[in-house]
Structure 1
């Protein structure tokens, strides 16, 4: 992984944003290596953000990237709560509308890339409407 500068107020440590960006970049590279094509990153809308939007053949894939240092509290995947899923669905709906689409007209899915400790897990179609 590329070197990322340390946080300004914590020499030698990354800020939470820098840490998140680094894991999202790693997830993007991993997904591209597995055949997906990058569309967008850090898509924001009222009340939510989508980490990555990728293309898997004809399918638009909305990706949530999570990292946890260990599985002591359920691991990274367990942190994608129903509340978070609802925010992601809402943000994806708005993004699709801005691109002349909807859940009814565009084949899409929601994936989770979970980094727990040194392990990566890819949960395809992790949740839906």
Structure 2
């Protein structure tokens, strides 16, 4: 088997997303933040806005597939995790916040740009 495991592929995607966002001036607050209700891939700061970034990695589907994979239930889980993060990390609690999605294609499309969707959904 020469295939990377989904976990390592996901991690690589996350590193790529992180580097991309840092290149756009965002600062990393934390990554893979877990709580009972869910997990936040990346939590970043864009000027004064706390940005909760969901990294979607799709081997075959088009970009639409990666974005469509965030259904209402997933959005609720992200919103709950974000709320919990802001309660625990109270210094960020009064900042504006938003949810972004970074969608990446599989490795054989390494040359393709990733897609960054700001304000992917309302919290």
- Measured against the shorter chain, the TM-score band is 0.7 to 0.9
Q: Which residue of 1 aligns with 2:90?
A: 100
Consecutive aligned runs of 4 or more in structure 1 exceeding 6 Å deviation? none
Cα RMSD between the aligned structures?
1.9
Assess if the C-alpha contact under 8 Å between 1:110 and 1:128 holds in 2: yes
Report the TM-score when normalising by structure 1: 0.82
The structure with the largest alpha-carbon Rg is 1
| Cα 1:16/1:53, change in 2 over 3 Å | same
Unaligned 5+ segments in structure 2 are: none
Q: Which residue of 2 aligns with 1:82?
A: 72
Q: Which moved further from structure 2: 11-20 or 68-77?
A: 68-77
Aligned counterpart in structure 2 of residue 113 of structure 1, from 102, 106, 119: 102
Unaligned 5+ segments in structure 1 are: 1-10
Is residue 123 from structure 1 mapped to residue 112 from structure 2 by the alignment? no
Assess if the C-alpha contact under 8 Å between 2:50 and 2:92 holds in 1: no
State the structure with bigger RCO (CA 8 A, min sep 6), 1 or 2: 2
Deviation at 1:67, TM superposition (A): 1.2
Report the TM-score when normalising by structure 2: 0.86
SS at match of 1:115: strand
Q: Which residue of 1 aligns with 2:29?
A: 39
SS at match of 2:8: helix
Deviation at 1:128, TM superposition (A): 1.7
**Equivalent pairs, count:** 118
